[in-house]
Amino acid sequence: MTDSQRRRRNVYDTLFRPSPSGVRHSFERLVSQIPSMWDTRKGAKLVLRTDDHRAYPAAIAGVPALAEAIKEGRFIHSTYSSKLERTVFNPLFSVNYYDRELRKDIAAYRRESTCYTRNTASGLLRFCCHQARHNYQKDYRIKGAEWKGITHGERAGIDGERIAAGMERLFVERPFPSRLKVTQEQSNIWLKRHTTPLKEGHEYIPRYAAVGFTQASENKLGPTRPASACRRGCSPGSRRS
């Protein structure tokens, strides 16, 4: 940074500084979903590949089921340097590839740019839309005719008919989380629980979008527009957004 940039950064730091343990807590929330998704019938061991960030081992140790599986040799955490060339031979190629896709498709993910996510909750919703489009609609492109015409989800082993039925239902029946089995993190994103630094007040959520959640969850949502008001004042397009 230049001297002027350092002075500006010091001013920003007086207004807001992220938690030094933020990465560990965030990664712990992520890997805590693994035990419920881990089908032990498909293999005796599960390998998680990451870069060598120091926060990751501590986060994994914070999940009792994974810590126990590591002791028993059923769960393996393999780390690789983030400085390795990002080629198809890199063990982290899949995540490096998706990181590149995000930077290509969403301006806020680009480096050396004035673009950034001004609203954390909205940015996470955009990320989920991009993730669904990439996994279930975008063709898996690789040299060789054997993979031609399939999606990334199908290449990962998900049945194509199941994907097609899910996408059709998505645009016809509007499957809210109250009708689906979702993870805690997916629920947090849907209900906009991730706050934007320095932003005051709750994020707006239509009341019909919170149907099926507990009263305690709805109390955290803040003000919502009554469903009757939305029926009167929202166009079909705005109600789907």
Q: What is the pLDDT of residues 49-107, one digit of tens each?
A: 999 999 999 999 999 999 999 999 999 999 999 999 999 899 999 899 999 999 999 99
Alpha helix ranges (H) inside the chain: 3-15, 22-31, 34-37, 55-61, 64-71, 93-105, 120-136, 152-155, 160-172, 184-190, 215-219, 227-233, 236-240
CA distance 152 to 150: 7
Q: How far is CA 72 from the centre of its chain?
A: 29
Q: Work out the end-to-end distance of the chain between its first and last CA atoms, rounded to an integer number of angstroms.
A: 40
What is the pTM (predicted TM-score) of this model? 0.77
CB 44 within 8 A of CB 74: yes
Q: Which residues pair with 48 in a beta bridge?
A: 77
Q: Looking at the DSSP assignment, which residues form a beta bridge with residue 76? A: 47
Computed on alpha carbons and rounded to an integer, the radius of gyration of the chain in Å comes to: 21
> 206-240 pLDDT, tens per residue?
887 876 654 334 444 444 443 333 333 343 333 33
**How does pLDDT run across 32-64, given as a tens digit for each residue?**
999 988 888 887 899 999 999 999 999 999 999
